[in-house]
Amino acid sequence: MIRLDKYLCDLNIGSRSEIKEYIRKKLITVDGVIASDPGMRISEDSAVTYRGEPLIYKKFRYYMLNKPKGVVSATQDNIDTTVIDLLKDINTRDMFPVGRLDKDTEGLLIITNDGEMSHRLLSPKSHVEKCYLVHLKHNITSDDIKTLCMGVDIGDDTITLPAKVEAIATDRIYLTITEGRYHQVKRMLEAVDNKVVFLKRVSFGPLELDPSLSPGEYRELDESEIIMLNLYKGI
């Protein structure tokens, strides 16, 4: 069971005070009866309407964000803009980014309130594939690509797991990794005497960044994308 006002807040119908006013104006019905108490307990399957329009409750919410540079992957920060700050006009309570991208990295970031999914996707045992578009300071050689594919020493206790590399220009690659070590992509390229000058995540597991999203834009995941993420088992 869930409070009616929380149910409506979760659907981004309004704030608690706004919902109280909607109820006073008799704009909300529950199972065909005009609601009178914001605190009434209802089922997630209750037939709720707002201004005559039926509502469908979603316990979990999932968004795809094209993270821009200069924004931190956190729920709150006293100095920098966070990825949560970018989500305007939606209820972001209890929402958080799945993993993180460095402040100067762009690209695909999932924002959700589904802790179980996040935990599964971020577990080191899952080996979720993450693909990055990488612009390099220097041209990359075939030997460099072979080295990256086999795994490199980035100063940790173990070398990185094998990666996938697709060269799309002499100084640009798609790099796919299955780990999430600190500054991993940058350190991997440093290990072959190169330097990352631009970094953008273009896919996370089965989910690809929507090309229609400009940096800072976001959209809700559709049902097929949510199913893909729930079924994804890593590699």
CA-based nearest residue to 131, from 166, 181, 100, 158: 166
Give residue 112's domain range. Answer: 63-122+217-231
Q: Identify whether 15 is part of a domain.
A: yes
Is 71 within a domain?
Answer: yes
Instruction: Say how far apart CA 231 and CA 206 lie, in whole Å.
Output: 10
| Distances in whole angstroms, Cα of residue 192 to Cα of each of 16, 49, 59, 145, 177 | 55, 60, 46, 9, 16
Q: Say what the pLDDT of residue 234 is.
A: 75
State whether 199 and 135 are in the same domain.
Answer: yes
- CA 41 centroid distance within chain: 31
**One domain, residues 38 and 71:** no
- On whether residue 211 sits in a domain, the answer given is no
212 within domain boundaries: no
Pairing of strands 96-97, 48-50: unpaired
pLDDT of residue 12: 80
Same domain assignment for residues 115 and 224: yes
Q: 45 and 158 in one domain? A: no
Domain co-membership, 112 together with 152: no
- pLDDT given for residue 57 in this prediction: 84
Q: What is the CATH number of the domain that holds 81?
A: 3.30.70.580
171 occurs within a structural domain: yes
Domain count, the chain: 3
Please confirm, yes or no, whether 102 is among the known catalytic residues. Answer: yes
| 210 within some domain | no
Q: Is residue 12 part of a domain?
A: yes
77-87 per-residue burial string, b: 16 or more CB within 10 A, e: under 16: eeeeebbbebb
Residue 101 lies in a domain: yes
Please pick, among 77, 102, 171, 210, the residue that the annotation labels catalytic: 102
**In this structure, are 223 and 111 located in the same domain?**
yes
Residue 140 sits in a domain whose CATH number is 3.30.70.1560
The predicted pLDDT at position 118 comes to 95
Per-residue pLDDT of the chain (235 residues; tens, 9 = 90+): 889 998 898 888 888 899 999 999 999 999 999 999 999 999 888 999 999 999 988 889 999 999 999 999 999 999 999 999 999 888 888 899 999 999 999 999 999 999 999 999 999 889 999 999 999 999 999 999 999 999 999 999 899 999 999 999 999 999 999 999 999 999 999 999 999 999 999 999 999 999 999 999 999 999 999 999 999 887 7
